[in-house]
Amino acid sequence: GLKKKEVNVLCLGLDNSGKTTIINQLKPTNAQAQDIVPTIGFSIEKFKTSSLSFTVFDMSGQGRYRNLWEHYYKEGQAIIFVIDSSDKLRMVVAKEELDTLLNHPDIKHRRIPILFFANKMDLREALSSVKVSQLLCLENIKDKPWHICASNAVQGEGLQEGVDWLQGTHY
Ligand code: GTP
Ligand code: MG
């Protein structure tokens, strides 16, 4: 068959937000890891949809590794930004990291699509995706296509909606 178009995706967000769990769920069952551990540095993963082949840079969100993110911005053609919706204390830290990303010279003037996952929606204390969107001031992002989905990465809920959106944007 035809070779699928390849798209480089950066998976960003604070440590423990669920980035690796999300990416793992998007891989074919036989390629999925059973135990997920905190990412050291970053890991390169692949998954396919009906029309696209995604190469994901699954970055560590730990503070000491966040300075690695910017080295991959130029290569990124899409961003998946993951938020732990139950982590109210660090929502402001997530916003700071998002704002730093949006103001970076390699991102600022590009129409790079950003998919947000308001993850861990299964937890009782989780904020809604609307609330997360308000706290992160997503309505201020006017020069890039973006979309937010509530997700439960452990059960795989909400992920398909996000991937469908990513697949439907232009690269
Ligand atoms: P770093 O690699 O350190 O940046 O973290 P990460 O963002 O990759 O998070 P990871 O996928 O390692 O998940 C962190 C923890 O959150 C794990 O214990 C996951 O099982 C758990 N987790 C991930 N997604 C969800 C979710 O939707 N709901 C719940 N309840 N737990 C989740
Ligand atoms: Mg990880």
Give 133-162 pLDDT, tens digit per residue: 999 999 999 999 999 999 999 999 999 999
Q: How confident is the model at residue 124 (pLDDT cuts 50, 70, 90)?
A: very high
Which residues place a Cβ less than 5 A from the ion ligand 2?
Answer: 19-20, 39
| Domain residue ranges in the chain | 5-168
Active site residue 62: yes
Q: What is the pLDDT of residue 3?
A: 86
Which of the residues 32, 34, 62, 160 is marked catalytic? 62
What's the rounded Cα separation, in Å, for the pair 97 and 58?
A: 16
Distance of CA 123 to the CA centre of its chain: 19
Question: Mean pLDDT across the chain, nearest whole number?
Answer: 97
* Pair of tokens at residue 36: 């997920």
Interface confidence: ipTM more than 0.95: yes
- What pLDDT is attached to residue 1? 64
Ligand 1 environment, Cβ below 6 A: 13, 15-21, 36, 38-39, 60-62, 82, 119-120, 122-123, 152-154
Amino acid letter, residue 63: G
| CATH superfamily ID and name for 5-168 | P-loop containing nucleotide triphosphate hydrolases (3.40.50.300)
CA distance 65 to 98: 15
Write the pLDDT tens digit of every residue in 1-44: 678 999 999 999 999 999 999 999 999 999 999 999 999 999 99
How far, in Å, from the CA of 39 to the mean position of ligand 2?
4
Which residues, including other chains, have CB under 8 Å from residue 11's CB and lie 6 or more apart? Answer: 19, 22, 23, 56, 57, 58, 59, 79, 80, 82
Amino acid at 30: N
Mean pLDDT of 79-85: 99
